[in-house]
Structure formats: structure tokens, C-alpha cells
Amino acid sequence: SQQGEEDPQALSIQEGENATMNCSYKTSINNLQWYRQNSGRGLVHLILIRSNEREKHSGRLRVTLDTSKKSSSLLITASRAADTASYFCATARFLNTGGFKTIFGAGTRLFVKA
């Protein structure tokens, strides 16, 4: 079953506004990551938050993690047209086999209007 599920599926905002995307997951995790994907390109890693962290910042990005609710949010402040892309959350967890898996959600499509 899908591990990370983003909400909303699509978001349209004006340049300068803040964009908030949410992610929920089902099992225990070691970390949660956010990635960005421009159309037809590969994913680019944005930020990683470990399971023992509650909030993390990187430039205009702010990520929160609530392990009790199994949810995370990504906030992009002062959005720009160039932020238009799809955003994915991904969770990493150890497996019984000793390895680990990084599983992605279906993503939120963000459109920032100039």
C-alpha cells in the first residue's frame, strides 16, 4: 500500500503567497523527505527531517513532522512562478531484511501564477 499521501493533489496560488502541502503516512519511519519535480525531469531532493526532529528550515522552505499523527507539512513562503512543480514526500524505513526502503507519495502539483 502507498506509504505517503499528499494533500492537496493540486494547488494554485498567486506569486508572493505561501503554499502549504501535507503528507500523511502509515508506518513508523526513520525520516521523511520532500522532493520537487519539474515536468518531464527527475526529482530533486529538497529537505530531510529525521523522526526525532519536529521542524526544519531551508531558505524559504519549512518542514514540520508530527510522528504521533504520522503527518508532515511543507511550507513554501513568498512563492515564485519558478516554484511551479510537483512536490513529493517520501518516507524511509528499515526493513526486517536489514535494508531500507524509500517510498514516495503521489505528489502535489503546485502552480504559482505570476
C-alpha cell at 105: 507519495
- For other proteins, the binding residues in 49-88 under the rule CB under 8 A are 50, 88
Q: How far is the CB of 110 from other proteins (least distance, A)?
A: 16
**Count of residues interacting with other proteins (CB under 8 A):** 29
Select the span of 15-23, 60-68, 76-84, 93-101 touching other proteins (CB under 8 A): 93-101
> Among 52, 96, 99, 114, which residue sits at the site for other proteins (rule: CB under 8 A)?
99
Kindly state whether residue 41 participates in binding other proteins, applying the rule CB under 8 A: yes
Which candidate, 88, 73, 89, places its Cα nearest to that of 18? 73
Q: How far is the CB of 69 from other proteins (least distance, A)?
A: 21
Kindly state whether residue 32 participates in binding other proteins, applying the rule CB under 8 A: no
DSSP one-letter string for 27-93: S--SEEEEEEE-TTS-EEEEEEEETT--EEEETTEEEEEETTTTEEEEEE-S--GGG-EEEEEEEEE
Which residues make Cβ contacts (< 8 Å) with residue 60, sequence separation at least 6? Answer: 76, 77, 78
Kindly state whether residue 43 participates in binding other proteins, applying the rule CB under 8 A: yes
Which residue number, 18 or 27, has a Cβ lying nearer to other proteins? 27
Which candidate, 29, 44, 47, 35, places its Cα nearest to that of 89? 35
One-letter amino acid at 70 equals: K
Interacting residue ranges for other proteins, rule: CB under 8 A: 2, 4, 30-31, 33, 35, 40-45, 48, 50, 88, 90, 92-94, 97, 99-107
